[in-house]
Every structure is written in structure tokens, then in C-alpha cells.
Homo-oligomer: A and B are copies of this chain.
């Protein structure tokens, strides 16, 4: 999304990544052919391999960018306030909103984890654990200050993240739900789930 050609349009490498996101989200990684990706990018099948090493390396790049972005969203949300209640509200809100606003990338991030190579899966796994740890830390601080009541911190952290993650399974932009509406709902539910 950052590279630009002289005429201001996306590079061929970027167009292929965007096409891969479309295809992987729509049909899944294994059911997507490199021909499909090339065709969506308006190129021949061979052009894929000029810009990317393999089909899996396209998945790795999409997955890495997605995890990096999601981690940044939740980390920044955690830093917006000193109030643990408001912090949890903001984290759940922004995490759910990101998944709604990036539901195609989110679907790839969440559902194609197993399709990565062992090495790539191990690397991506560190991002997942950081996201989980960030949520657990917010709950722990709230409990320590006495403003949150959470008896199972890891389990509740998983549950709060599940609200955002699971929406990529069914959310479609332009449907009867807006990302903001869902994010607000999840944020309110999160406060009820955790406040003392």
C-alpha cells in the first residue's frame, strides 16, 4: 500500500498482493490458483513469479502485514487512557473495528494460519501471542486497581478478542451491520463482562 509508480498507481507487486487478498478471502488459500491471482491483477500466470517467490510467500506477506497492523491497533488503543475500564473498552472497540474494516485480510489472517510454512507460522505466532498478552495486561492492571472483576484473565482476554475475530466469518461491508455499530456493541459488552 506504500509503494508507488511514477504515475502514482500501485506497483505490479502491490497489485498482485491486492489480488491475492481478494482471492484468498473469497475462496481460501488452497482453493486459489496462481492463475486466478494473476488474472485479477491483469497479468499472465508467469508474472506472479517475477514479483513473488511462491503462492505461500504471497500468503505470508498478507498475513504478516495483517498481524502487524492488528497488533499496532490494539497497542495504540491500550495507550490512549490511564483508566483500565476505558482502556479495555477502547481496545475491544478498535480491535473489532479493524476486523470489520479489514474483513478480507482478517479472514486470511485468522483462517489461513495453518497454510503457512512452519517457519512463517512460528514467526506469525509471536504476533498472536503479543496481541493476547496486550489484552491480558490490560485486564490484570484493572483487577490490581480494583476497578475490574475478572477471575479468569487469559480466558476472558480470549473471549474479548473473539468478538472481533469471529465477525470476519460473516461480516460483509454494505450489509445490515456497520463496523462502527459492531465495534460500539462489542465495547459495551466488554465493559459489562469485566467491570467490578
Interface residues of A (CB under 8 A from B): 27-28, 30-31, 110-111, 114-115, 152, 155-156, 158-159, 162-163, 165-167, 169-170, 177, 181-182, 185-186, 189, 192-193
Return chain B residues, CB-CB under 8 Å to A165.
166, 169
Q: Are A28 and B115 in contact (CB under 8 A)?
A: yes
Contact of A152 among B155, B170, B185, B192 (CB under 8 A): B185
Q: Are B193 and A28 in contact (CB under 8 A)?
A: no
Q: Which 9 A-B pairs have the closest CB atoms?
A: A30-B30, A162-B166, A30-B31, A166-B166, A155-B185, A189-B193, A192-B193, A152-B185, A192-B192
Cα distance A177–B154 in the bound complex, in angstroms: 10
The smallest beta-carbon distance between A172 and chain B, in angstroms, is: 12
Further pairs besides A30-B31, A158-B167, A189-B193: 16, Cβ < 8 Å: A28-B114, A28-B115, A31-B115, A110-B169, A111-B111, A111-B169, A155-B181, A155-B182, A156-B189, A159-B163, A159-B185, A162-B166, A165-B169, A192-B192, A192-B193, A193-B193
Q: Are A186 and B169 in contact (CB under 8 A)?
A: no
| Prevailing SS type, chain A contact patch | helix
Q: Are A114 and B155 in contact (CB under 8 A)?
A: no
- Find the B residue at minimum CB distance from A132: B170
A sample of 5 cross-chain residue pairs with beta-carbon separation below 8 angstroms, ordered by A number, consists of: A28-B28, A30-B30, A30-B31, A156-B185, A192-B193
- Find the B residue at minimum CB distance from A26: B114
From A167, A169, A189, A192, residue with most partner B Cβ within 10 Å: A189
- Find the B residue at minimum CB distance from A111: B111
Cα distance A169–B161 in the bound complex, in angstroms: 12
- Find the B residue at minimum CB distance from A28: B30
